[in-house]
Amino acid sequence: MKATIKTFLAIILFIIPSIATTQHLTLHGEVSNSTNDNINKHGELGTTNGLTLNGSTIAVLTAPGSGSYFSPLFHYDGSDINSYPGSGNTWTDLSGNGYHAIASTDTSFVEYSNTNNAWEFKGMRSNSDGHGLFIQGLNYVSGTSDAIANMSISCMVKINSAAIYPSDDARIILSFDRSSVFRFSIGGDTNDPGDNPGKPSLMFAHGSSGNVSDISFSNSTDLRDDLWHLVTITFEAEVANGLKLYVDGQLVQIISNTFGKIGELNTSESPRYGVIGSGSEKSNSSVSPPTTPTDMFYGYIGSLIYYDKTLIASEVNTLFSNFNNSNYTN
């Protein structure tokens, strides 16, 4: 009887290729854990209903959808038709939280690339204010009410090896305003051209006094190589060694400093909304200026996942393993 049930389950797993994970299997009171590496083509984890036989749960299967990747705050994936169907200017949030991103419509600055399953950012600065992808509904205000104690950002990016501005090559991935909340980029700030071009940087305001730290991960290799990389940073406030960089699932650098909570300013400021691929000083989510500094990303952003938790090393490695089996392969 057990062999028959296992054969039946194997057939189900074979004919449903989008199923990602078998979380548990119960046969006559026996429970086992297993993982099916045949993740959907986008490498995404999610949820479905359990499968029952004779009143017993024999499998709880995970497929594409909400709740994916350790419950992110928002999650965009350019290779998933549920996130981007191939047309339009909306990048749908897969987390289920509704924080969709709206792209500016001028394709000379940003447009979706079907070849790369990703948004292509043209790296332009002249007249680029107001261009990028604008995150809807999510903002941060000054003070303790939504100060960021824990955060992780993971993105699949392919960065052009050429530089439009070789002496000052800053390429913003995600910004909620550097001086109020944070900015995540490749290369440093416009005002600091020596901040390791081609290497990830996190610039953020922290603590009640709003100290601004510009952290460049100098141990990273130059990622401007026209190849896909999964770049992940994790942050935990008020502990030593709380800021870490991972590239392609591997720990690259630990920043030993202790930082206060991000955005914990004790002054009253306007809310800050997020922009993908450009700067942000926005107090609303409209597709319009100001997106300063205009250090637009130059290359492709295929996915972007943002957490209000600090991922551990094994979770980061899982993210990379999943993406490594997806459309973003070199």
Contacts of 55 (CB under 8 A, 6+ apart): none
Q: Domain extents for the chain?
A: 2-62, 74-324
Please determine, for residue 311, whether its predicted confidence score (pLDDT) is greater than 60: yes
Span 238-275, pLDDT tens digits: 999 999 999 999 999 999 999 999 988 767 777 888 99
Eight-class DSSP state of 20? -
In the predicted model, what is the mean pLDDT of the chain?
Answer: 78
Span 137-162, pLDDT tens digits: 998 877 777 899 999 999 999 999 98
Using alpha carbons only, how large is the chain's radius of gyration in Å?
A: 21
Residue found under tokens 């205000």:
141
62-76, 78-92, 206-220, 303-317 — which is least confidently predicted? 62-76
Residue 26 has a pLDDT of: 28
CA 73 to the chain's CA centroid: 10
* pTM of the predicted protein model: 0.77
Span 113-145, pLDDT tens digits: 999 999 999 887 777 777 899 999 998 877 777
Eight-class DSSP state of 282? -
Q: 248 — alpha (psi -120 to 50), left (phi > 0) or beta?
A: left
What CATH number has the domain spanning 74-324? 2.60.120.200
Q: Which residue has the higher pLDDT, 21 or 252?
A: 252
Q: Which residue has the higher pLDDT, 142 or 90?
A: 90
Please determine, for residue 50, whether its predicted confidence score (pLDDT) is greater than 70: no
Position 21 confidence tier, pLDDT thresholds 50, 70, 90:
very low
27-31, 71-75, 144-148, 301-305 — which is least confidently predicted? 27-31
DSSP letters, 167-224, are TS--EEEEES-TTTSEEEEES--TT-TTS-TTSEEEEEEETTTTEEEEEE-TTS----
